[in-house]
A and B are shown apart, each in its own frame.
Chain A
């Protein structure tokens, strides 16, 4: 039996199956994106940090909006062409639609790429620095490569390690490999500090599991892991049996009493058990000879002088060396968060900024801030002229929090352009709307280097979901939307490239399918119609 109403609509509902299905699916998609938009509202209203208003370059988003609207129009034309049985026209319009999807994704990829390479840093005093990190350079100013052949960013924790202690259950093999590689690069040997032998009084007393001086290797730790597993299994089984026996005895000695009344007195006799137990080797310590300078990603290690702990519970003993964060190009300095915190405490914003680490320690920041304050005076005058005073004698229009306390890359660019030091061609300037500030063309005067000592580092991340909830929700919504664009494009391409056969046998069926695909495509456009103003313009 055939399933009815696949092509022809049912009389009383007037719909064929797939149309109902797609509208149902779209209703659920409304809920999905609605959930994300509600989250956006909730996160923005509840944010306890200055929400980055109008922080994204508008041009890529705007072009993408035009591209999607255009593709919405062409997909409808494609469907119309199919209904009128004009195959060539259908191919052309569908082709344009899919091509628009491709442009959209390329622009999106460019946007994402630029953001993922852009570094942000919040100092301990809540001032924020943005820019690009430098790469580690050797004496000849050539990039140093790590053991995977990638350049190393100047954001590492350096420890002159003399001892490494591994947790035999939790050690992370890739990190172990990295440590071994680095030790080799520094020409240090990593060997077992002391004999690993069975504990006194246990069943494997005196047994030597590994001799001191044995070299660290993945195989070694794996072997230790097996030994530990065997020991813990054996011991656990023994202790369990012992405890069971204790309870049997306790119940017999205390008839009618509840467990909780007698539990305090029910204990395993560990001394008696010890001769049967195996030694559990939970950590293994190695000496690094001579002590070597290891580098770690800040996220992987909790650094402290003397003893640092990695996230896999590896303990690195040794001196914590200078581990500054090195910006090759600083392109924004943002005091909004610092000001917000200062105002909460009742401190004047300007005073708080004057006392920030940046202003006190960095000449460039000082100069930029002074220049910026001059610009603010000009802006205030302009706004006064435009809006006048209100009835209380206060200016009706005043600069925004962002304008007052954030010096963005466009401000830095304007500064050096005003000073006549830099001039960009219009095509380069246009490209900056997509790829961010052009460091080479504008040079170090506009975007200088800056080294931040590790003690000042509060929180650092790329412009990624980790940086703040704004980028989190931005990437999530646009990423999910992008996945829908890809999905929709794949479905439409399928009809474009493989629809000929269906067109020849059952063109109405194909027209229905294309209509359904088109409906989904319109929905994707619909979501973007909201995404663009909300995330880019507000």
Chain B
């Protein structure tokens, strides 16, 4: 972690640079979503918009986490701590979604939820 004034000055430039990337990423996401010319895949909202949007969001979030929250300088323990939370969320979301996609009834006969 940056402790000396020189190191801090250097990281300030990094912070500004990362901030710029975050701004750009946001604009890119909005453009992909709103400008018809940039619409990949089918017209309107489809899985590609979802994938692009979430990928860009994940990259932005990782930048904030690793650089702004200095997770990449932090002790391993902290990193694993935070990662454990993420793991658990993925298991919650993933397994819950799996339950939705694997019902006991054949969807042809059962259209309710």
Contacts and interface: CB of A to CB of B under 8 A. Distances in A.
Interface string A384-417: 0001000000000111101100000000000000
A31 B68 contact: no
B75 A13 contact: yes
Contacts of A35: 89, 92
A103 interface: no
Contact of A533 (B33, B77, B111): B33
A220 interface: no
Contacts of A15: 75, 77-78
Given A84-B5, A538-B45, A533 B97 contact: no
Contacts of A262: none
Interface residues of B, number: 50
Interface size class of A (residues with CB under 8 A): 35 or more
Given A37-B93, A72-B64, A537-B33, A522 B53 contact: no
Given A13-B75, A34-B93, 7 more contacts: A72-B19, A397-B43, A400-B43, A523-B69, A529-B61, A533-B56, A534-B57
A21 B88 CA distance: 19
Interface string B1-27: 011010010011001100100110010
B100 A72 contact: no
Q: In terms of DSSP, what is the predominant structure of the interface of chain B? A: helix
Given A20-B78, A73-B19, A46 B12 contact: no
Determine which residue in A28, A35, A69 has the highest number of CB atoms from chain B within 10 A of its CB, and name it: A69
Given A27-B84, A537-B30, A46 B100 contact: yes
A528 to B, nearest CB: 10
Contacts, number: 149
A96 interface: no
8 contacts: A27-B85, A30-B89, A34-B86, A34-B92, A58-B33, A72-B19, A532-B26, A533-B56
A399 B43 contact: yes
A65 B26 contact: yes
Interface in B56-71: 56-57, 60-61, 64-65, 68-69
A526 B113 contact: no
A442 interface: no
Contacts of A398: 42-43
Contacts of B61: 526, 529-530
